[in-house]
Amino acid sequence: MTNQKTDLSDITLNKPSIRLGEVHFPEPPHGGYTYRLPNSIFSAKEGSRVRVPFGHTSRVGFLVKVYLGPDDDKFKNISHLIDDVPMFSPELLSLTEWTANYYLCDWGEVLLAAMPSGLKPRNLATYKLSDEGLLETLAGEGSSLTAQLWRRLKEKPLSLKKIRTEFDSGEESLRKLQHRGWIETVVSDAPRIAPRMDILYEWTEEVSYEAAMQDLRKNATKMHSALKLLEENEGRLSGAFLSKTSKGMHPTMRTFLERGWLEAKEIPFLYEDALEQGLTETSTGSAELTDDQVRVINSLTEALKEENPKTFLLHGVTGSGKTMVYLEIVEAVLAQGKTAIMMAPEISLTPQLTGRFYRRFGDLVALSHSRMSSAERREIWLKAKSGQARVIIGPRSVIFSPVENLGVIIVDEEHEESYKQVDPAPRYNARDVGIYRARKCGAVSLVGSATPDVASYFNAKVGRYRLIELTNRYSGIELPPVWVVKWGIGKEGSLFCPKLLKKIEERLELNQQTIILINRRAFSTSIYCPDCGDIAECPNCDISLKYHSTGQKLECHYCGFSEAVYDLCPKCNGKRLRFKGLGSQRVEKELNRLFPQARIARMDQDTTRRKGSHRDLLEQFAQRKQDILLGTKMVAKGHDFPGVTLVGILMADAEWHMPDFRAQERAFRLYVQASGRAGRSSAGEVVIQSWEPQESVLRWIQQHDFGSLFNAEIGSRKSLQYPPFSKLLTILVKGLEPELVEEAAQSLRQQLDEKLQVSIILGPAPPLIERVENTFRRRILLKLPQRVTTPVREEKKRIRKIVDKFRKKMRKDKVSFVIDVDPVEV
């Protein structure tokens, strides 16, 4: 080994002390490795990226600790320092280390997640023949694998991945060539921390536009156009602007530079994001705060003076003005010279929220979202690190923003499960990481929702959080009445009950708007043959294929497999194929049939793939260019459309029939959030279609009664020891061979039974979908005591130690083990 995992127990203490560094890597093999800090990088600081020798190659890693320790021959020198300024502050290093320990993953994985993709390490080593290797020959080895690799490398350099793919035992052949001194390693370094630059052309005062025009030939049309463009833009044009609006103008600018008409200088590249502007402002009425809002804001601003403020849970009904509270607390934080992080589940779905922040705080705001390019995310990160941006808004990843002097961390819609990363590691919950970060920084953490997570509300009830409430809508209008109608798919030939149809028609006559929620994409959930009973299934997953009318295809929503829809049953050649189930495409078709005069828009994953499509669609609806907006849960987000006075919910039963202890809570929050889109500026109403109108959860939704839901959930969870009365942890065992997966899962369960002390263990059992992408799966569920105590921490360490042993043992059989702490699905 050319490097050594950090373990100094076997090193003689009488050896001289030198500067050592602990390095973690973003990719396997994980763990801390010890390297020497040579004099050339003696000033290297913790939090920097470094390149180090590793085996027969080199890797980029994170230098997380620098300390004095005894020297040993097994330690290699760090090759070189990539960052002059550390990427991670001591505060962020501490936060990422805690995240790794809590979620049982490697520190390097968390550090990788904390970086913008435009700055992530590249371990792109390629191998080429050295000068000596090019001159040598392999006499007598013409047919050997080593000779074949040598001949291939004479053509061009190859990466290790390419060598492994093209040659059996390719690594061994590469090592033989390396031992002969015939190989050079060419390494592509990690991108450095520096902003992308642009060029700014500025008109000089030495010549007037009129004089310049007269100096040009009449047929120099491009130059005349360039002068006019400069005059229209006050003599200042950026290179990015020219590239976007006036392609081919750069040579003209260079000509003007040579004539002395322009000056050029470098400036930071400015990215344009349509989301920054938000939607057209449609809110009515004054922006005065209500008495309830003033009371809540006073509580929060007082907490800013405290040394260790508690977490606040803001429980406000839909339309109560929670965003106004967020704006006020951020303004108070900025007045103190501090910074703010504001998280929202998916920023591209909530342009109204981001628009209000931009209008209030301008260039102090930096926005990140999933539709941004790597370069754009990199610039946002740099703005945060430099202090240019002091209000960072985005989804879960912004919790690791490199801001300093934090004053508040806000988590909007704190109940949203998208704050939890599922794959890959680290499988962290950004809400919980945010609460921890705020506590360690002495900042206020504020989590808000109209339908709080049951565990969060429990924490407020028992005093761990401080509960603040907004019980009335800002507009003063009552919450909409909710009608529950017994209705199923296809009854009397319609997807819609008469009551909902009548109310949609009334809205169209009054020029008011309607939102329809159907939380299923595609046209139908399956296609089947009534003659033989065959159902079209994915060849890679244990799930039926969904029929998409757009493109006439059958598609798997798990692995992406698709095929053309067929007219005859592939099993029996039957012609009576039937489409089962209901999806958003089918609802759209039915609405167009029933209301041909209506302007209808559909919002789901299929219609919002293009960057900016979310905003464009919502902007059209905000400007009353659409009468009906239908879609999946995207339409239930925190939108504020004054024209919406009706919300219809189809197939309500599907949500609470899922085999998960949170199913009822999820149904309640989705339908209450959807209901809250109605009646923001004038009276509205909600119609829910269900096969089971007597269900308790529907009664609570009708009454907007979160308290009854909470009491029912707490009672059942206490008896079954589910959160908030325990901490959950799952171990997913997966592999290509079902027998090996089952054997590994059973063996792991046996080890857990023998070694663990305070856990309740369930399983192994197959997940809801047993096979995904031809990978078979088994899941083990563990319940740990709720409070984080020393025994629980030690238990988690034991779990990781056991799983790590199984990972090594089963690697050759291609069986993997995934630990998920606080999973959202069980």
- For tokens 């006019």, the residue is 228
CATH number given to 276-470: 3.40.50.300
Do 580 and 525 touch, CB atoms closer than 8 A? yes
Q: What single-letter DSSP state applies at residue 38? A: -
User: Strand, helix or coil at 316?
Assistant: strand
Among 175-189, 470-484, 503-517, name the most confident range. 503-517
Angstrom CA distances, 580 to 301, 408, 547, 584, 668, stand at 54, 49, 9, 13, 26
Taken in order 356, 361, 363, 367, the sign of the CA dihedral is: negative
Q: Is the pLDDT of residue 758 over 60?
A: yes
Q: Which CATH code of 1.10.40.30, 3.40.1440.60, 1.10.3720.10, 3.30.390.30 fits the domain covering 4-119?
A: 3.40.1440.60
CATH for 726-821, among 3.90.79.10, 3.30.70.600, 1.10.287.610, 1.10.10.10?
3.30.70.600
pLDDT in tens, 218-274: 667 788 888 888 888 878 888 878 877 776 777 888 888 888 888 888 776 665 543
Q: Which helix (H) or strand (E) holds 586?
A: helix 584-594
189 against 335, higher pLDDT: 335
* Residue 134 reports pLDDT greater than 80: no
Q: Note the residue count of the chain.
A: 826
79: region left, alpha or beta (phi > 0 left; psi from -120 to 50 alpha): alpha
Token pair of 62, please?
């994170």
> Distance between CA 511 and CA 624 in Å, rounded?
9
Report how far residue 408's alpha carbon sits from residue 304's, in angstroms, rounded to the nearest whole number.
8
pLDDT of residue 11: 44
The rounded distance, in Å, linking the Cα atoms of 112 and 121 is 8
DSSP 97-165: HHHHHHTTS-HHHHHHHTS-GGG----EEEEEE-HHHHH---TT-TTSHHHHHHHHHHHS-EEHHHHHH
Note the pLDDT of residue 84.
84
Q: Is the peptide bond before 724 cis (omega within 30 degrees of 0)?
A: yes
pLDDT surpassing 80 at residue 121: no
Long-range CB contacts (within 8 A, 24+) of 324-327: 324/287, 324/289, 324/293, 324/474, 325/293, 325/296, 325/297, 325/300, 325/448, 325/470, 326/410, 326/412, 326/446, 326/448, 327/356, 327/357, 327/360
Residue written as token pair 């390419």? 162
Q: For position 275, what pLDDT does the model report?
A: 43
* CA–CA separation, 671 and 686 (whole Å): 10
> How confident is the prediction for the chain on average, in pLDDT?
87
Question: How many whole angstroms separate alpha carbon 422 and alpha carbon 148?
Answer: 43
**How far apart are alpha carbons 601 and 619 in whole angstroms?**
12
One fold for both 276-470 and 482-520+582-715?
Answer: yes
CA pair distance 555, 550, nearest whole angstrom: 11
Q: Per-domain residue ranges for the chain?
A: 4-119, 124-188, 197-268, 276-470, 482-520+582-715, 726-821
**CATH architecture, range 482-520+582-715:** 3-Layer(aba) Sandwich (3.40)
User: What's the whole-model pTM score?
Assistant: 0.82
Please give the average per-residue pLDDT across 655-678, as a whole number. 91
In which residue are the tokens 């209506």 written? 598
Chain position carrying tokens 């109605």: 678
What is the pLDDT confidence band of residue 809, given thresholds at 50, 70 and 90? very high
Residue 361 has pLDDT above 70, yes or no: yes
Could you count the other beta carbons within 10 Å of the beta carbon of residue 463?
A: 9
Residue 696 has pLDDT above 90, yes or no: yes
Fold of 197-268: Arc Repressor Mutant, subunit A (1.10.10)
Least confident segment among 264-278, 538-552, 665-679: 264-278
Residue 12 has pLDDT above 60, yes or no: no
- Amino acid, single-letter form, for residue 742: E
Bridge partners of residue 367, in order along the sequence = 393
Question: Which residue in this structure is represented by tokens 């007045």?
Answer: 335
Alpha helix (H) residue ranges in 336-427: 351-361, 374-386
CB half-sphere exposure, 628, CA atoms < 13 A: 29
